Amino acid sequence: MAAPEQEEAESLKYPGIRHVAALILARGGSKGIPLKNIKPLAGIPLIGWVLRAAIDSGEFDSVWVSTDHDEIEKVAKSWGAKVHRRSEEVSRDSSTSLETIQEFLKENPEVTVVCNIQATSPCLHPSHLKNALKKITEDGYDSIFSVVRRYQLRWKEVKKGSDECTEPENLDPAKRPRRRDWNGELIENDSFHFATRDLIMKEGRLQGGRVAYFEMKPEHSVDIDVDIDWPVAEQRVLRPGVSFAGGPCDTDSGMSSNVSDSEASSAKSFIHSRDTEGFSVSIHSRDTEGLRKLQKNDLKVVLLISEEDVLRQMRFKLKMMTDCEVMLVGEDPLKDVQSMVEKEKLDWKDVAYMGCDAASASCLHLAGLSAAPADAHPDAIRAGKFACKQGGGAGAVWEFAEHVLLQKQQARLQMKQDLIDRNCF
């Protein structure tokens, strides 16, 4: 949230714009894919991808999820969003997005610009929102919406008597355009819509007034509607240069293994960093915060260090910096970690492992939850089930810690639901 003095400065710079809100509509009654808004996509609840885009953009005074469902509300809050509990009147199958947004604005009169973000657009990037908003705050537009440029030749159905014919709609068949000679067409991708309060409340529209578009690249224009869209979207968010929430990644398996509450409470997180050219310790403040959060949630954390001749000097320093157990491992960390897993009487599905070098790949494959920093060795990135946005020493550990705790929370919710289901029969 912006400080009062910041809001005052913004109101002077952009007259009438005092509060910009992001709003994700996430009704619980999805017909195509039940509760798809919180279904894990590449290890992250679908709605988490767009929430991180909104929050990481740093452009919004508030980020909201409008929902009618308890579980969606819990996930939204766990990702840092506020919740607008929508009424029954705007929760029906026939309810429109505009009606829901209008209800939200009535209950939040301070909001002067709202960005409706589609929950099913996981490739949305913070920069898209940041640059689109400038068209309102700096250029004075009333509404902005996202588009993708398509190069598709369209034909329309024509009925002539009993004949079903077709005619060209955007081309001359005698002069079929070459792609390089044609600018294509702008197609709405529904990723997001920015609009002012006046446009929505007074004119009843999301698009109008002085309107402009924001063009997104095809690789970012992903929308999930039916089951067949899911694996395509999962591969897309994990492509190098596309994913922001998980960072650049080329992974073989995007979905994290879920652990039950009892399993998660006894799981361990292993963080392994080794540099064959020499070793340096770099721990981001958010990383240490993430490690402490794991420990507060009854997860034992062990830091693995190698290059024994050098690292013996660093062992005490790491212990003091993180208050975690520190363990030396050899060239193949699997051997040492396997011994610890057996000693603690755990299965590999109970282990959360983070590694950044090629030697970690075997542990990353076996662990129930695993991750690699954005700047890790390609073998480690491919082996990890969760890809981090940040690099080593720059917040990746905190990201993975948040992911582990979210999986634990979801496992607990699932256990409660299973118990309820059993008691109903």
Helices (H), 21-175: 46-57, 70-78, 97-107, 126-137
Please name the residue that has the structure tokens 């995007």: 254
Among 392, 365, 412, CA closest to 263: 412
Are 33 and 224 spatial neighbours (Cβ–Cβ below 8 Å)? yes
One-letter amino acid of 98: L
Are 324 and 291 spatial neighbours (Cβ–Cβ below 8 Å)? yes
Residues 100, 104, 109, 113, CA torsion sign: negative
Q: Rounded to whole angstroms, how far apart are CA atoms 253 and 367? A: 12
Q: Rounded to whole angstroms, how far apart are CA atoms 349 and 385? A: 12
Catalytic annotation, pick one of 85, 92, 176, 312: 176
3-state class (DSSP) for residue 261 = helix
Q: Within a 13 Å sphere around the CA of 369, how many CA atoms are in the beta-carbon half?
A: 27
Q: Is 176 a catalytic residue?
A: yes
Residue-wise DSSP of 154-165: -EEEEEETTEEE
Residue-wise DSSP of 335-385: HHHHHHHHHTT--GGGEEEEE-SGGGHHHHHHSSEEEE-TTS-HHHHHH-S
The H-or-E segment that residue 303 falls in is: strand 300-305
The H-or-E segment that residue 187 falls in is: strand 185-196
Are 269 and 299 spatial neighbours (Cβ–Cβ below 8 Å)? yes
* Buried-exposed string 19-48: b where 16+ CB fall within 10 A, e elsewhere: bbbbbbbbbbebeebebbbbebbbbbbbbb
Residues taking part in catalysis: 176
